[in-house]
Structure 1
């Protein structure tokens, strides 16, 4: 096995050639329904309305560029720190960006590289300390116990949030952040709020009316419970900023669950046991334009299950510009190094630009073919089944699903209605709104149903 090279220093990322990090939006394809977006909803009723909207008007990125006479985009700050839950941060940034907000991801630390939870590394846009004079329409605080504690101890952020709240502007917090940060600062005094169920008892210490619900809106504050409620939380923020119609437009192409809080479901054909020797080793390739919510669900959930997850860049740099340009992931290794390793599972996120890079990368395609020929598991979500697996014969004789507007590209479309499909050693899924189910289904195949359900409950997914 090749040694893993040390990650470049932060200055290398900042000085990197922007052209190498840029990924095309592929807007023309999106306008034709070839989008790789996905969404979640703040409630089951919103999910139904969004599904209806998506059927009436298939859109991938609903907000178009504003003309010179239209109002400026809403400004949103997503504050992050070492130990932040990456999925909570990414989901809020991603979905608010889809709604047309001008999102800044700022770190409470002195450097731009964030060592988030579960070994995830990403680059922030700015430092909180440099934004104290800025005005925002919304400030969002993701959770994670360590991340929330670091946000709480950031004095410039506390000053910003207190001033922001005094002006009656919107605040959002999820997971541990409502209890550990906002309640501690006194911002929630007299408000109804929620947080991760394990911390609900601590809300009352800050004079908060604790509510055990997935998302709670009270005046200018929106709070939520955890990773499993992150899409609902983000859409509630969109609705507060832009209204119900925009929230429905953003939600439609995400293909979120019709009903929240229930167990994930798997449509399985040709059932076989996925066998691993020891701790499962999983490869997650990433590329410029990969969907951040899909990639992070795989990384986060599988690492929670104690899988050894390796994130490999198929580009010529470790830093990946993700689909909505809000959380630039930093891979563990380059694909050339990963190619010298053995994996029990190779699984790809979607995002059309990322999938197009995957399908044109001979080394990755060769690894996938070797994986399939040896009977070892492989999988893909969203655009990747249609644009990577299908053209290279990796779906031959298999049932699969994909991002719905791309389903016509599959030779066998008989299983495309399902959210997660397993056929022997292959697993596929539809969109960012099915990404957590997809990751949990993988955990079930690798570790068993009991472990998958325990993680789902930890995430407040069910």
Structure 2
């Protein structure tokens, strides 16, 4: 989905031909957000089907398509979804169609997938986060990070108009995430360090990426300076246990992390919470909590109204 991307895809005759042949052979086909009406329906492939799409575009469905008010609709071999915040549910629907319900359970449980909209955070020792003008955020990346934890955060923060700098801790700007996604960083970490200070430094998890980031002296130095200046910082998933905890960045703080690494925290008493804020430190658990984490970060940095605007745009409110 996405506009103008979905419309551009809908106008590609070569893509239409590929998908049409696939459908004629009985293959599974799917689209999300603006793509069901602007691509699949425009090619006539949803005629006679029930389907859904982003609320802003469902009126684009032709009369032969029955629009359904649902996050995800499976009708025959056609799978459609509504938007960014429902992409996890959409992905699980595809996994179920391809591999069965048992595989969905195997994947969804460790990821902490939740289909309900909205977010909440456990906040302790509440303080107001300050930034002058546009929030300036550093997000370091390394080979083997959890791609969803990085990409969802970057996307959400940029939607909220934060200035997000993605910095590579590897030898080049291209890193390969845990499941093979190639991420092109904006800069190398040493160049990003020259842009300090940041209003927020946030570290994605995933192994072995989190361990690499935890061993990066330059990143650790930036985080320690951030803490000394009482500026916000945080981590998600394995990064809480492998970056913040080993370097004393959680001393006197409550935090959360993925279940398998809760034992690595000196104080794991809050690890059942999906998002935890303790003063200037914000942590979360897994890919399945990344969007909630991003919304909580936006609320702390830019206020509840901006967080609500972001959540509404992502279709993240229940």
Q: One fold, TM greater than 0.5?
A: yes
Match of residue 32 from structure 2: 174
Instruction: Kindly provide the CA deviation profile for residues 184-238 of structure 1, in whole angstroms up to 9, marking residues without a partner as x.
Output: 11110110000011111111x2621001110000000110011100110001001
Q: Decide which of 161, 169, 186 is 1:332's aligned counterpart.
A: 186
Q: Which residue of 2 aligns with 1:392?
A: 247
Other-structure match for 2:69: 212
5 Å matches for 1:104-123? Answer: none
Unaligned runs of 5+ in 1: 1-142
From 135, 145, 158, the equivalent of 1:290 is 145
- Structure 1 pair 150–206 and aligned structure 2 pair: CA distance change class (3 A): farther
Q: SS of the residue aligned with 1:320? A: strand
Question: Residues 311-343 of structure 1, C-alpha deviation per residue, up to 9 Å, x if partnerless?
Answer: 000101111101100x20100000010001121
Secondary structure of the structure 2 residue equivalent to 1:440: helix
Residue correspondence of structure 1 range 88-103 to structure 2 within 5 A? none
Q: Deviation digits for residues 78-133 of structure 1, max 9, x if unmatched?
A: xxxxxxxxxxxxxxxxxxxxxxxxxxxxxxxxxxxxxxxxxxxxxxxxxxxxxxxx
**Contact 1:299–1:309 (CA<8 Å) still a contact in 2?**
yes
Q: Is 1:201 matched up with 2:56?
A: no
Is the 1:383–1:406 contact (alpha carbons within 8 Å) kept by the matching residues of 2?
A: yes
Who is 1:160 aligned against? 18
Paired with 1:195 and 1:183, the residues of 2 have a C-alpha distance of 11
How far apart are the structure 1 equivalents of 2:142 and 2:79? Answer: 33
The runs of 5 or more residues in structure 2 that have no matched partner are: none
Following the alignment from structure 1 to structure 2, what is the Cα–Cα distance between the partners of residues 453 and 225? 18
Cα deviation digits, residues 146-171 of structure 1 (max 9, x gap): 21122112222110001111111100
Query: How many angstroms apart in 2 are the aligned matches of 1:241 and 1:371?
Result: 46
Q: Which moved more, 1:144-153 or 1:416-425?
A: 144-153
Displacement over 2 Å in runs of 4+: none
1: CA distance, partners of 2:70 / 2:18: 28
Q: 1: CA distance between counterparts of 2:214 and 2:154?
A: 21
Q: 2:156 aligns with which of 301, 314, 335?
A: 301
Q: In structure 2, how many angstroms separate the alpha carbons of the residues matched to 1:451 and 1:200? A: 26
Instruction: Tell whether 2:89 aligns with 1:232.
Output: yes
Q: Which residue of 2 aligns with 1:260?
A: 116
Q: For residues 187 and 69 of structure 2, what CA distance do their matches in structure 1 show? A: 41
Count of matched residue positions in the alignment of Structure 1 and Structure 2: 316
**Matched-pair contact (CA < 8 Å) for 1:339–1:367:** yes
Out of 200, 204, 213, which is 1:349 matched to?
204
Deviations 1:418-453 (A, max 9, x none): 000000000000000000000000000011111111
Aligned equivalents of 1:433, 1:223: Cα separation in 2? 20
Distance 2:314 2:64 in 1: 26
Aligned to 1:411: 266
For each residue in 1:288-309, what CA deviation from the matched residue of structure 2 results, as whole angstroms up to 9, or x when unmatched? 0111111011100000111001
